[in-house]
Structure 1
Amino acid sequence: MRILYFYPENPLSFSQGNNSRALSLLHYFKNRNIDIDLVGEESKEFGQDSINELKSEDLIKHGYLLKKEKKSSNIVKYYLNYSFPKKFNSKFKDFDRTKFGYKEQFSKILKDNEYDIIIISYVYWSPLLDNVTKGTKTKWIVDTHDFLTSQFQDHKKFALDRYFKREINLMQKFDDVWVISNEEKYLFSQFVKSPVSLVTHGLPNNIETSSKTEKTIDLVYVASENFHNIKSANWFFKEAYPFLSSDIKITVVGKIGNHIPKFENVENLVFVKDLDEVYKKSKIAICPMLSGTGVKIKVIESLSHGIPVVCTERGVDGLLNKTNNGCLTTNDPSLFSDYINKLLNDAEFYKQNHLEVKKFFEDNFDIKKTYNVLDGIFKAN
């Protein structure tokens, strides 16, 4: 079995939860001895060095990076194949992330190789297949990652009916639609004719190992610097942080640190090589999300280490249970800080939530369960 996996960003970058999901999927293929070729989008964070590293770790067999072609390289092709079609479909531009030359480069990869399965990450990258003739024995899969219509609702020309219809129509070309949460499975399965498969973000169980590590971090906050995270970080540090003791040691991991004022008790780590080592040393994690959709990967990562999570209501999006899951949930900044203080100062309360984390993770996100689902999809043994 040969699989082509398109994922635009660098799976080795731990700054975003979606990258962790992509890397986890690559590890599944490696574990099952399935040959994988990876296609990504060239950027400062994703170059040939990263492709070589993925190959050296036997996570992929071949790697390709799509590169934006210069307009001057072929003026006729630029206008006929890219500029005019883009303008004609301008009302749907949010659902097409391709740049000049991407579709042709992707088609060439498919012409030069034979694949049994093609996996496309995110619906807005499905136009990569516009110029591809689907083989009778080839299976197309889209890994949605998220409910994209909701992500676009703040755009000036947003129209719910038009956006949602477009998202569903793009899914219809695939033989299987992967979702990461039950909410999305319920929603999409009402409209998509193809099977909708729940493929959760499974992780190794690190709870026992983490419990043996000295906890030098009271509070860990992991996030990238997208719009939703910036808004959430501002809320936490302006509204909840003032209620916390200045003795609490807080570690912030990821580019969100670029948007946080300097505090004496806050350590900013824009990049870490091994995020697991940070989690192992942490007592509590926070996820103060105020907007955004889909499962919060950082919440699942925290649970995989047995760490109780203090979060807002958006933080438990996509979780099968909204209670009894090791997450303490509130949108009230005062109560948010109270939860943190109680976890740090009440050993019995901490133990109770830790046990809830352990049971919930093992029942829902242990990597063995996700592998069983993927085995059913790929008929792997």
Structure 2
Amino acid sequence: MKILYFYPENPLSYSQGNNSRALSLLNYFKDRSIHLDFVGEHSDVFTEDSIKELKKEKLIQNGYLLKKKKKSENIIRYYLDYSFPKKLNSRFKDFDRTKFGHKDQFLKIINDGDYDIVIISYVYWSSLFNMELNGNKTKWIVDTHDFLTSQFQDNKKFSLDRYFKKEIDLMKKFDCVWVISNEEKYLFSQFLKIPVHLVAHSLPKTEISLNTEKTIDIVYVASENFHNVKSADWFFKKVYPLLPLDIRITVVGKINKHIPKLQNVENLLLVKDLNEVYKKTRITICPMLSGTGVKIKVIESLSHGLPVVCTERGVDGLINKTNNGCLTSNDPLLFSAYIQRLLNDSEFYNKHHLEAKSFFENNFDTKRTYEVLDAIFFQQ
């Protein structure tokens, strides 16, 4: 079996949860000894050196980066194949992130590679699917990662019916759709006649050491996207003032660019190995107010048996909304109360620690997701 996997960013970058999901899929293909070639989008932070690192880790066989061509390289092709089609479809430009030259480069990779399966990450890269390839043996899969229509709802020209129809129509081009949450599987399967598979984010079972000194009371991990910035603002303005100043908080990720400097808050912009941070941590928080899909950082926390205090959005995509290691509230006072009780009541803490551990093992352990992927790739 020969697979081509497109994911635009560097899976080895630890700055975002979606990269963790991509990396977990690469580890699956490596574990199953599947020939995997990789395609990403070239950027200042995703270069040929990154491809070499992926090869060094034996996660991929061959790697390619799509590069934006200059208009001057072929002015006629630029207007006929890129500029004019973009303008004609300007209403839905959000659903197409390809740049000039990307489709030609991708088509060449496909034609040279003779792949059995091509996996495209995100519906807004679905235009890489080339109609010229219809009828050949290649099976095309789109890994949605998220419900995009919801992400665009604040756009000025947003229209729910048109955007949702566009998202569904793009999925219909493929032979199979992957989703990351039960909610998205239910939604998309109502409108699609092709298979919709739930491929949850998975992590290896973590050995939890009770002897490691817990030097961090709360860990908050987040990137700097719009949803996280809004959520961090809510937490530090509404919840943080209600917490005792002797609580030790560590904030990890680019979200640090958007929060104030506080005496009991440690700011770590980049951490190479989050597992080492989690081992020293008592609880985590996920104060998401908006956004869709599973919150990868919640799953990572549960894998370490760490209780999570979160808002309602924090449990999106989880099969169970209760008895899962998460304490949920959108009320700042109750959010604060949950944090303080977990830190001060050992019996209460142990109850939610065990729930987190059990829920993770039953739903997100690598073994579970590998069984789903094995059925997709080896039992057809």
Bin for the TM-score computed over the shorter chain: over 0.9
Could you say if the C-alpha distance between residues 212 and 59 of structure 1 is closer, same or farther in structure 2, counting changes exceeding 3 Å? farther
Equivalence for 1:194 = 194
Contact map agreement 1:220 1:252 (CA 8 A) in 2? yes
1:192 is matched by which residue type in structure 2? Answer: L
* Cα distance, 1:211 vs structure 2: 3.5
SS of residue in 2 equivalent to 1:209: coil
How many angstroms does 1:380 deviate by?
7.3
Shift of 1:43: 1.1
Q: Would you say 1:46 and 2:46 are equivalent positions?
A: yes
Residue 213 of structure 1 and its aligned partner are, at CA, apart by: 2.3
Q: Please tell me whether the aligned partners of residues 40 and 65 of structure 1 are also in contact (alpha carbons under 8 angstroms).
A: yes
Task: Work out whether residues 208 and 305 of structure 2, in 8 Å CA contact, stay in contact via their aligned partners in 1.
Answer: no
Counterpart residue identity of residue 146, structure 2: D
SS where residue 103 of structure 1 aligns? Answer: helix
Match of 1:60 in 2: 60
1:307 equivalent in alignment to 2:297: no
CA offset digits 1:318-358 (Å, max 9, x no partner)? 00001110100000011111111111111111001101111
Question: Structure 1: how far apart are the matches of 2:69 and 2:366?
Answer: 40
Residue number in structure 2 paired with 1:102: 102
Q: Write the distance in 2 (CA, Å) between the matches of 1:357 and 1:303.
A: 5
8 Å contact kept, 1:32–1:380: no
Structure 1 partner of 2:217? 218
Matches of 1:78 and 1:247, distance apart in 2: 60
Q: Are 1:36 and 1:60, in contact at CA under 8 Å, matched by a contact in 2? A: yes
264-273 vs 82-91, greater mean Cα deviation:
264-273
The secondary structure found in structure 2 opposite 1:283 is strand
Displacement of 1:132 in angstroms is: 4.2
Mapped partners of 1:18, 1:380: distance in 2: 27
Amino acid of the residue matched to residue 18 of structure 2? Answer: N
Task: Indicate the SS of the match to 1:267.
Answer: strand
CA drift of 1:359 comes to: 1.2
One-letter code aligned to 1:81: D
**Which string of whole-angstrom CA distances, capped at 9 and with x for unpartnered residues, describes residues 12-71 of structure 1?**
111111000000000000000001111001112211111100000100001100111111
Within 5 A, what are the aligned runs for 1:1-381?
1-130=1-130, 132-206=132-206, 208-379=207-378
Give, in angstroms, the shift of residue 130 of structure 1: 3.2
Equivalent residues of 1:210, 1:281 under 8 A apart: no
For normalisation by structure 1, the TM-score amounts to 0.98
Residues 283-326 of structure 1: per-residue CA shift (max 9 Å, x gap)? 10000000000000000000000000000000000000011101
Amino acid of the residue matched to residue 261 of structure 1?
P
SS in 1 for 2:162: helix
For the 8 Å contact 1:37–1:62, the answer to whether it is kept is yes
Whole-Å separation in 2 of the counterparts to 1:82 and 1:297: 35
**Contact 2:221–2:253, Cα closer than 8 Å, also in 1:** yes
Q: Give the partner amino acid of 2:55.
A: K
Q: Distance in 2 between matches of 1:212 and 1:313?
A: 33
Q: Write the deviation string for residues 146-177 of structure 1: whole angstroms up to 9, x where unpaired.
A: 11000000000000000000000000111110
* 2: CA distance, partners of 1:231 / 1:175: 37
SS in 1 for 2:9: coil
SS of 2:266 mapped into structure 1:
strand
TM value normalised by structure 2:
0.98
Structure 2 unaligned spans of 5+ = none
Maintained 8 Å contact 2:107/2:130: no
Gaps of 5+ in 1: none
Name the amino acid aligned to 1:205. K
What's the CA shift string for 1:233-268, capped at 9, x where partnerless?
000000000011111111111100110110111111
Partner letter of residue 13 of structure 1? S
Report which stretch shifted further, 45-54 or 323-332.
45-54
How many correspondences in the alignment? 380
Structure 1 counterpart SS, 2:208: helix
The 2-side partners of 1:134 and 1:106 are apart by 15
Q: For 2:211 and 2:93, how far apart are their aligned partners in 1?
A: 50
Tell me, yes or no, if the aligned pair for 2:219 and 2:249 is still in contact at 8 Å: yes
1 CA distance for matches of 2:155 and 2:265?
34
Offset, 1:276: 1.1
Q: 2:260 is matched by which residue type in structure 1?
A: P
